[in-house]
Structure formats: C-alpha cells, structure tokens
Amino acid sequence: MSDISLPRIKARFSINLIEDVDSHLLFLKRSSKSKFGPGLWGFPAGHIEENENPEQCALRELEEEIGSQFKVSMMATKGPLRDSYYGGVYEIFLFHQRWLEGEVSLNHEHIEYAWVNRDNYKRYEVMEGIDEDIRYMNIWPAEFLNADKLP
C-alpha cells in the first residue's frame, strides 16, 4: 500500500484534440494576454465550470474558441487524469474528436489556427502537456513528439 497522496485539485479542464481525416490536429495559438501559455500553441480547451460535466465543457469550449459552424464526432475519451507539469493539481479530461466539416472562427483568446501534421509538429512552440495529451490518445507515434516534453 502506498502512503503517497495526490494534492488537492485546484481546477478541472476539458481538452479537445480535433483530428481531420488526414491525421492533422487542430492547434490554436494563444494570445499574448492569455493566462495559460501566452503566445504558445495548444488545443481548444478550458476550465470545467461548477455547473457542467467534462463533456459539456468540451463542447462549450469548442464553440467559444472556434465558433459554432463545424461538425465533429467523438472518437475516444480519457479521464480524469492528473497533470504531470504542475504538480498534479489539475484534473484533465481528454476528448479525441474527428473533424467532419465546417470552418474555424477564432475568438479573442487566440490569434491564429493551424492544422498540423506529425511531420511538422516540432516546428510549433506548444504549451506544456500537449505532447503528453497526444501520447495519451495514441494519435501519433512517439518519435514525432518532443521527447523532452514527455514526463
């Protein structure tokens, strides 16, 4: 039996990994004014509010961050998981979804978006935890990820 206890959860997050039919992932570049990862690339994601479950948060965040003119289908989910980069104080839920159709319309939180393939992924400066999220969902083989950003 282990005496190690996890720290108290500070916040819970839903993270959307949106993949198109060609295995490109949708990345959003955060504004320089962002609280988390300013100027870095990440996934559509956000804080789970008190009155919602992780699935509701994932959909809300997609609509807030990329608009409502799209269609996706759920491929896989994982969670709850504890973060590896901030001492385990965040609980995360991952949603791997297939992009079916639509357009991306960014809100004020992001300044750019890109559909990124595994071959050019390492050219993007991504937020902490992104490589781990991709690995958790088994989207791309490990050799395409940043080994120094995996726990």
| Residue 2 lies inside a defined structural domain of this protein | no
| Residue 110 lies inside a defined structural domain of this protein | yes
| Residue 98 lies inside a defined structural domain of this protein | yes
| Residue 23 lies inside a defined structural domain of this protein | yes
Residue 3, pLDDT > 80, answer no
Domain with residue 115: its CATH number is 3.90.79.10
Q: Which domain holds residue 73?
A: 11-145
| Residue 6 lies inside a defined structural domain of this protein | no
| Residue 151 lies inside a defined structural domain of this protein | no
Reported as a single tens digit per residue, the pLDDT across 23-38 is 999 999 999 988 888 9
| Residue 1 lies inside a defined structural domain of this protein | no
The pLDDT, as a whole number, for residue 35 is 83
Reported as a single tens digit per residue, the pLDDT across 92-144 is 999 999 999 999 999 999 999 999 999 999 999 999 999 999 999 999 999 99
Reported as a single tens digit per residue, the pLDDT across 42-84 is 999 999 999 999 999 999 999 999 999 999 999 999 999 998 8
Task: Locate all alpha helices (DSSP H) within 43-88, ordered by sequence.
Answer: 54-66
Which tokens in the block code for residue 150? 């995996």
Residue-wise over 31-59: b if at least 16 C-beta within 10 A, else e? beebebbeebbbbbbbebeeeeebeebbb
Q: Which helix (H) or strand (E) holds 18?
A: strand 11-19
Q: pTM for the full model?
A: 0.92
Total number of domains constituting the chain: 1
Contacts of 85 (CB under 8 A, 6+ apart): 128, 129, 151
CA distances from 130 to 50, 70, 71, 101 (A): 25, 23, 23, 24
Q: State whether residue 20 is helix, strand or coil.
A: coil
Name the band, by pLDDT with cuts 50, 70 and 90, for residue 4.
low
| Residue 5 lies inside a defined structural domain of this protein | no
